[in-house]
Chain A
Amino acid sequence: MVRPGTGAGEDELAYLRTDREFRNVLLVELPDGDFAVLIAKLLFLSAFQHLNYAVLAGGTGQLAEIAAKTVKESAYHLDHATQWTLRLGDGTTLSHQRMQAAVDEVWPYTYELFEDVPELRAPWLSTVDGVLTEATLTRPADTADSWKPTGGRSGRHTEALSYLLAELQVLHRAYPGASW
């Protein structure tokens, strides 16, 4: 087992962990086959990260330093995703349809973002609602029986992660210790 905090280096963590050892949320591993899906993922994730890193930046130590740097960069990503969401949502009939389909497809995966920080969902919704409204898009309704896929934080992933890891790790597994 290769785990963070056990003295493993960057290469071990990136190239030698199995899917079960990754702790990322499911949203970030979903396939990017459709550009609208990629933008929906970036919008939802960067809006969350911007809030989350602002909280962490208020702490102390190295984590706070990294977070302070990342607050500025997540604002940049959020701006990029916002511009594209507006352009696609409030664009042509076809781009609107595809952006709305992407929002609907990715939405269930946003619940997992807030499992450890439920207090961030209200401000996140406020940001996301503003962008979707301006982009003439409809936010999927929250209902008690909404599908809320989860498990990424405990290592239970979608099959999409295995495809990603196969591609990203193949060289290091074929040539252990390779550097370039």
Chain B
Amino acid sequence: MTPYAAAASVVDPELPLVTIAELGILREVTEDPGGRVTVSITPTYSGCPALDAIRADIATALTRAGYHDVEVRTHLSPPWSTDQITAAGREKLAAAGIAPPGPVLLQIRPRCPVCGSPDTEELSRFGSTACKALWRCRTCAEPFDAVKPL
């Protein structure tokens, strides 16, 4: 397994259905001739409590894949945006009943992940985590989490 594949297999501790690569958290993985692996990640929110767990999980995943000299670096620039969540990541979120974020610049209402209706309303700006909001579908009445565009 390449060091990138090992790092990219790490899942988000709060959204274990998507990997850090799909969320856009994983920026770069390099291996120098001496076998030292450097992994660059970026925080979603700078106070995100999941970042320490992600850092530890990356080190564990790389060790399991046979890479024992690992450094995980945090980069802030350019700032993370929900626009960096990949298409595969968005599909997985929707399949799990979490509305993926729309493009940051458009600020459109999320579609209901259950029935697909665009007729939805925000119930609370904060959902099960600070990065999600609680919404409800006016068509099928199902409440759902939506990842906030950032």
Give A contacts to B, CB under 8 Å: 65-66, 68-70, 72-73, 76, 79-80, 83
Contact = CB atoms under 8 A, between A and B. Distances in A.
A68 B125 contact: no
A68 B46 contact: no
A43 to B, nearest CB: 15
B106 to A, nearest CB: 16
A73 B77 contact: no
A79 B107 CA distance: 14
Dominant secondary structure of chain B at its interface with chain A: loop
Interface in B69-121: 76-81
B93 to A, nearest CB: 20
Contact of B46 (A70, A80, A83): A70
A20 to B, nearest CB: 27
B79 A80 contact: no
B76 A65 contact: yes
Interface residues of B, number: 12
A57 to B, nearest CB: 9
A79 B133 CA distance: 13
A79 B130 CA distance: 13
A65 B80 CA distance: 11
B138 to A, nearest CB: 21
A21 B150 CA distance: 35
Contact of A72 (B47, B125, B150): B150
Nearest to A75: B150
Interface string B45-83: 111000000000000000000000000000011111100
Given A69-B43, A72-B150, A76-B150, 12 more contacts: A65-B77, A66-B76, A68-B76, A68-B77, A68-B78, A68-B79, A69-B77, A69-B79, A70-B46, A72-B81, A73-B47, A80-B125
